[in-house]
Amino acid sequence: MSDVCLILEGTYPFVSGGVSTWVHQLVSSMEDVRFSIVYISPFPNPRREYKYRLPANVVAIQDLYLHEPFERKGLSSLANRKAGLERLAAAHEGLFEGRLDAFREALAVLRDPEHALTFDDLFVSKESWDLLEHLYKARGEDVSFLDFFWTWRSIYLPLVKTCQAPLPPARLYHTVSTGYAGVLAAIARQTMDAGMLLTEHGVYTHERLLEISQSTWIYTPHQERFRVQRELSFFKRFWLASFDFMGRLTYDNADKILTLYEGNRVKQIVAGAPAERVSIIPNGIDVARYQEIPRKPQGSDAKVVSYIGRVVPIKDVKTFLHMARIVLNRRPGTVFHVVGPTDEEPEYTQECRDVAAVLGLGEAVQFLGKLDIHEYYSRTDLVVLTSLSEAQPYAVLEANAVGIPVVATDVGACREMLEGRSPEDRAVGPSGLLTSVSDPEGTAAAVLRLLSEPGLYNSCAEAGRTRAARFYDQGDLISRYLNLYEQMMK
């Protein structure tokens, strides 16, 4: 048995990024705590690689593949099948109405070792087909039954996989999101006689709303595509209802709920989290290690402006590239680096390269891929984040600690990190400049201002070093988690 089971969806240890960095920091800092990991991903990937060296106190990793085919076990008894499907129908109604009371009964249907419904019961039997027809008549509006059928399967197959997944024994279950990871943690809370802790870096239901509202992979009836939509299509609302249900279920079962900054706390409460259970513990870093990194000498060399992060759409790297074109027109010789993994969404990476070519950026922009970031910070003058959404980005924390000013979009905790989150913090002064989302002109103006005003540049650099040391040192923040673990482990 482990002390803490981390339930992680698409992050550590096989995907790099801010959440994964945080998990690795947490695990590595608690050598006396035994961790197990349930890693949730869509499909098995024989070519996956560890992005982090696992500490010795990670004693087990268990996979849950949401879209891996079910083991076919045939049909159970007719009485068991009918009773189970009736309970699931009640849970489905709860999904749309925001009721959570039916989940425990549905869970018994799916996890009972003697009477659990099989794949064939759920998705092949005549009774399941009859249930689906009933739900379609009640909820299907004017969409086609065929489209309803495939959306149903796409939503419920991974949810059923989650509900039937085995759980490693642990004294405490800690999930780092709602969604499928949150559902599995809620199941642990109800079935394993253990505590449950939720930490959300970004609010999962809010991020899914942004993703689904703009998605093209969710089917929209053909006739709707030729008029402006005042509301989301039925199928997008269906998907959002399922994620909202999973979020509310997670919040309802979590003994304690943590997030990184005040804006997220408010979003969690709006999404259904009990206010009295929600508190804030921000990210932290090893400040001393970053403050040892030598700054780039301020001389006659070309100024280097860096984007640091994953090359994915939500980071809006294209705005960074359009900003680069504007800055180059005003300040020829400036160099722009895109630093971070490019393999997560290769098509988007290629689109960014194409944008750079169309803009005629040439050698002024370099895609450097993933680097040793500690070595890299000594090569840059300015860090720029153009994200559409963020939680509490490590790139801002790290740049602050090194003493590199930052330009960032006013999303997530970026305002708190650059301007302060308390009167004492705000008295330190700004450590960078904020811009609007998808605003290359405004971002370029902020970059040009910092590069051309030495007094502002130096004051931001000094404020960043001071703020990181006073308010974001990982030792203080990790100790708060260790105290929570000790209180909650059964």
Query: What span, in angstroms and rounded, lies between the C-alpha atoms of 74 and 118?
Result: 7
Q: Which residue would you say has higher pLDDT here, 222 or 194?
A: 194
Same domain, 62 and 101: yes
Lowest mean pLDDT among 70-74, 119-123, 386-390, 450-454: 70-74
Query: What span, in angstroms and rounded, lies between the C-alpha atoms of 461 and 261?
Result: 23
User: Could you tell me the pLDDT band of residue 366, with boundaries at 50, 70 and 90?
Assistant: very high
Supply 26's token pair: 């947490």
Residues 233, 239, 242: CA angle, nearest 5 degrees: 140
Same domain, 335 and 382: yes
For 233-264, write each residue's pLDDT tens digit. 888 888 888 899 899 999 999 999 999 999 99
Same domain, 431 and 488: no
Rounded to the nearest integer, the mean pLDDT of the chain is 91
The total of structural domains in the chain comes to 2
Asked whether residue 107 carries a pLDDT value surpassing 60, the answer given is yes
DSSP letter assigned to residue 443: H
Q: Which residue would you say has higher pLDDT here, 225 or 408?
A: 408
Same domain, 233 and 182: yes
- Say if residues 438 and 388 touch (Cβ distance below 8 Å): yes
Quick one: pLDDT at residue 227? 42
Query: What span, in angstroms and rounded, lies between the C-alpha atoms of 375 and 204?
Result: 33
Residues 33, 37, 41: CA angle, nearest 5 degrees: 160
| Over residues 8-19, mean pLDDT | 92
Asked whether residue 228 carries a pLDDT value surpassing 60, the answer given is no
Sign of CA dihedral 164, 166, 169, 175: negative
Label residues 136-169 b or e (16+ Cβ within 10 Å = b). beebbeebeeeebeebbebbbbbbbbbbbbebbe
Query: What span, in angstroms and rounded, lies between the C-alpha atoms of 49 and 442?
Result: 39
Which of 307, 305, 313 lies closest to 330 in space, CA to CA? 305
Same domain, 20 and 77: yes
Lowest mean pLDDT among 138-152, 213-227, 366-380: 213-227
Asked whether residue 229 carries a pLDDT value surpassing 70, the answer given is no
Q: Which residue type does 264 have? A: N
Same domain, 145 and 35: yes
Same domain, 263 and 382: no
Same domain, 361 and 482: no
Same domain, 457 and 344: yes
% of the chain residues with pLDDT over 70: 95
For 20-39, write each residue's pLDDT tens digit. 999 999 999 999 999 999 99
Same domain, 363 and 478: no
Asked whether residue 231 carries a pLDDT value surpassing 50, the answer given is yes
SS (H, E, C) 270-295: HCCCCHHHEEECCCCECHHHHHCCCC
What CATH code is carried by the domain that includes residue 390?
3.40.50.2000
For 42-68, write each residue's pLDDT tens digit. 999 989 999 999 999 999 999 999 998
From residue 477, alpha-carbon distances to 139, 239, 242 in Å are 47, 36, 33
Identify any residues that bridge with 365 across adjacent strands, giving them in sequence order: 336
Supply 162's token pair: 């989650």
| Over residues 389-404, mean pLDDT | 94
Asked whether residue 226 carries a pLDDT value surpassing 80, the answer given is no
Quick one: pLDDT at residue 105? 76
Same domain, 169 and 299: no
Give the burial class of 363: count Cβ atoms within 10 A of its Cβ; 0-12 exposed, 13-18 middle, 19 or more buried.
exposed
Q: Which residue would you say has higher pLDDT here, 216 or 380?
A: 380
Q: Which residues contact 379 (CB under 8 A, 6 or more apart)?
A: 296, 304, 337
Quick one: pLDDT at residue 247? 94
Range of the domain at 134: 1-284+473-490
Quick one: pLDDT at residue 50? 95
User: Could you tell me the pLDDT band of residue 483, with boundaries at 50, 70 and 90?
Assistant: very high
- Say if residues 187 and 111 touch (Cβ distance below 8 Å): yes
Length reported for the chain: 490
Same domain, 85 and 160: yes
Query: What span, in angstroms and rounded, lies between the C-alpha atoms of 453 and 431?
Result: 14
Identify any residues that bridge with 333 across adjacent strands, giving them in sequence order: none
